[in-house]
Amino acid sequence: MKKSLILFLALFSIVHVYGQKFGYVDTDYVLGKMPEYKEAQGEINKLSLGWQEEIKEMSRKIESMYNELQAEEVLLTAEMKKDRMAEISRKEGELKEYQKKIFGFEGLFFLKKKELIKPVQDKVFEAIERVCKDQRLAIMFDKAGDMVMIYTDPRHDYTDYVLEELGLGDPNDVIK
């Protein structure tokens, strides 16, 4: 945290000395205005819910296997009980592997999200780049990112310019 603050202050000092222009944009707000982002989010949510339901169903089956084992335990031989426990353990392993395959690092959820969201984000960043060039900005901060801004002067907010560049601006708003 200290390093990023020092870097920010050094960068701010350089910008201040040389009189460079800077601004910020709220990419979360911009993405929220984009129909293709909403569609991608909807598809991701739909897939996620389907995968979660599959995982719940697998968990219910395992729970059912445990309940059956407990109900029949007195009637089972040690060998039969051992076999059932091994089957339950195998099913639990399959469940964990499936969860990892879907929601783990580089899992299907991550890959699908990357596939659907990245093109939309690229479109936003290209619009930001054009706005920076048009407005002759040296630096553009993302208000939605990790950099915390405790004060922002609205005259440095270029979110509306980016929306306009993407064709998503409010026709009633006039960019000054």
Ranges assigned E (strand) in 11-168: 22-25, 139-142
* Beta-carbon contacts of residue 108 (< 8 Å; ≥ 6 apart): 51, 101, 102
Token pair belonging to 12: 């701010």
Helices 35-72, 78-103: inter-axial angle, 10-degree rounding: 170
Nearest to 116 by CA among 25, 27, 31: 31
Give the whole-angstrom CA distance, residue 164 versus residue 152. 21
The DSSP symbol for 145 reads: S
**pLDDT at residue 150 in the model:** 44
41, pLDDT greater than 90 = yes
**Span 103-153, pLDDT tens digits:** 999 999 999 999 999 999 999 988 988 888 888 887 888 888 776 554 556
> Which pLDDT band holds residue 6 (cuts at 50, 70, 90)?
low
Token pair belonging to 145: 């990112």
Helices 108-135, 78-103: inter-axial angle, 10-degree rounding: 20
